[in-house]
Amino acid sequence: MAVTSAAVRPRQSILSRLSESRNVLGFGFMLPAAALLLVFLTYPLGLGVWLGFTDARIGRPGIFIGIENYEYLWSDSVFWLSVFNTLLYTVSASILKFMLGLWLALILNGNLPFKSFFRAVVLLPWVVPTVLSAIAFWWIYDSQFSILSWALQQMGLIDHRINFLGDPTNARASVIAANVWRGIPFVAITLLAGLQTIPQSLYEAATLDGASRWQLFRYVTLPLLTPIIAITMTFSVLFTFTDFQLIYVLTRGGPVNATHLMATLSFQRGIAGGQLGEGAAIAVAMIPFLLAAILFSYFGLQRRRWQQGGGD
């Protein structure tokens, strides 16, 4: 059997030789994924950039108008407010998620009873559809029947109901709180995985050298956790920056645009308002920020490889 197949080998058809080539085979295997991604991801990305330079509206293909959309946005105070809101939302929510997530990860990393139960429960806010949990927050933040207001009133901490979503400052704080609630599990669970890769012997050695608990955290935990923190937080920042659902459910950008993010403004102008070109321009304006985050992530990954001592 082996002999015959060896004898046949030189006379194989072109087809069967092709099917053994790594490159041809690789191309064939990549085809479905590449086709879907090129058609529905790469092309729309380019189309979005092009639309940003046109005055397209829903139902009417646009003509090229240069950077008119961007000029208009440059002098549009609502657009700048949305940029400010997005940055404020991203920075404050990410810092809170990081600190609380790290804290929760450190707690869960301790010697706890029912550890896997807690770990499973912690992930719940992350698994449940954002829109549906946001609806629950909407009810929690209700101006008249907010359970939070009621509880605080019963405890005697406040004397009138809090207007959670009606006042600009409160509304910003409320949407950030809801975002943090949803984001803590992801940060906590990934950092927990990072914590579990740190060998206990390092802590024992440091303790023998007389390190305090703070020093253990600062000089053992934190440096070893830095690579995974970099990756986790890049993802967290990226998803917070492009958030849409939470705002759309809770405030739709109100009151007086105080919580409009770039994504919600882009939807409001592009789809609800029908100005596809302008909406696309707002979306394109998000790209520089995203690129910065992606570059950060890329160098974070590089550094991790180097730290592990691997070539690549």
Partner 1 sequence: MAAIKQAGRVDTDEGGMGYLQSLPRRVVTIYLPLLVFMIVLLFPFYWMTVTAIKPNAEMTDYVNYNPFWVVHPTLQHIRYLLFETSYPGWLLNTLIISTAATFLSLLAAVLAAYAIERLRFSGARQVGLAVFLAYLVPPSILFIPLSLMVFNLGLYDTPFALILTYPTFLIPFCTWLLMGYFRSIPFELEECALIDGASRLQILTKIVLPLSVPGLISAGIFAFTLSWNEFIYALTFIQSSEKKTVPVGVLTELVRSDVYEWGALMAGALIGSLPVVILYSFFVEHYVSSMTGAVKE
> Counting contacts by CB under 8 A, is residue 299 touching partner 1?
no
Binding partner 1 (rule: CB under 8 A), the pick from 91, 239, 254, 273 is: 239
Q: How far is the CB of 157 from partner 1 (least distance, A)?
A: 16
Instruction: Kindly state the smallest distance separating residue 73's Cβ from partner 1, in Å.
Output: 14
Q: Quick check: 255 binds partner 1 (CB under 8 A)? A: no
Choosing from 9, 12, 17, 40, the residue that interacts with partner 1 (CB under 8 A) is 40
Question: Exactly one of 85, 94, 179, 190 binds partner 1 (CB under 8 A); which one?
Answer: 190
Is 183 a binder of partner 1 (CB under 8 A)?
A: no
Q: Which of the residues 58 through 97 are near partner 1 (CB under 8 A)?
A: none
Question: Which span sits near partner 1 by CB under 8 A: 7-15, 74-82, 88-96, 245-253?
Answer: 245-253
Residues 130-169 that bind partner 1 (CB under 8 A): 130-133, 135-137, 139-140, 144-145, 147, 150
- 229 contributes a contact to partner 1 by CB under 8 A: no
Is residue 251 part of the contact set for partner 1 (CB under 8 A)? no
Size of the site for partner 1 (CB under 8 A): 100
Identify which of residues 171 and 248 has a Cβ nearer to partner 1 in the complex. 248
Q: Is 217 a binder of partner 1 (CB under 8 A)?
A: no
DSSP the chain: -HHHHHHHGGG--HHHHHTT-HHHHHHHHHHHHHHHHIIIIIHHHHHHHHHTTB--BTTB---B-TTHHHHHHHT-HHHHHHHHHHHHHHHHHHHHHHHHHHHHHHHHHS--TTHHHHHHHHHHHHHS-HHHHHHHHHHHT-TTT-HHHHHHHHTTS-SS---TTTSHHHHHHHHHHHHHHHHHHHHHHHHHHHHHTS-HHHHHHHHHTT--HHHHIIIIIHHHHHHHHHHHHHHHHHHHHT--HHHHHHTTT-STTTT--HHHHHHIIIIIS--HHHHHHHHHHTHHHHHHHHHHHHHHHHHHHHHHT---
Q: Minimum CB separation from partner 1 for residue 276, in Å?
A: 6
The single residue among 143, 196, 212, 302 that binds partner 1, judged by CB under 8 A, is 196
Among 12, 19, 215, 307, binds partner 1 (CB under 8 A): 19
Which residues are CB-neighbours of 205 under 8 A, at least 6 positions away? none
Question: CB of residue 295 vs partner 1: minimum separation in angstroms?
Answer: 11
